[in-house]
Amino acid sequence: MALMITEDCTVCDACIEPCPNEAITAGEEIFVIDALRCSECIGTDEEPQCIEVCPSDCIIPNPDFEESEDELQEKYEMIHG
């Protein structure tokens, strides 16, 4: 399941650099996660790195992108293949 950022985002910029998939960008008002690039950090880390650094607790599962761990691993490998 990819993650998404809610409107509680304060645009603090902390989450862009830790993302291993370059999935996070600055949107018009808040930061945005590209669901097609978010592997929930499967492939590199035990925990989602964006959630680890976010001071606003505004990163949540994206209900439109339900994926298994295997699918997330495949997504990671597609991005970095």
Binding site for ligand SF4 (CB under 6 A): 3, 5, 9-15, 18-21, 23-24, 31, 33, 38-41, 48-50, 53-54, 56, 58-59
Tell me the residue length of the chain: 81
In the complex, least distance from residue 52 CB atom to ligand SF4, rounded to whole angstroms: 8
- The C-alpha atoms of residue 71 and residue 53 are separated, in whole angstroms, by 25
Q: Which is nearer to ligand SF4, 24 or 67 (CB)?
A: 24
DSSP 8-state secondary structure symbol assigned to residue 3:
E
- The C-alpha atoms of residue 16 and residue 31 are separated, in whole angstroms, by 9
In the complex, least distance from residue 27 CB atom to ligand SF4, rounded to whole angstroms: 10
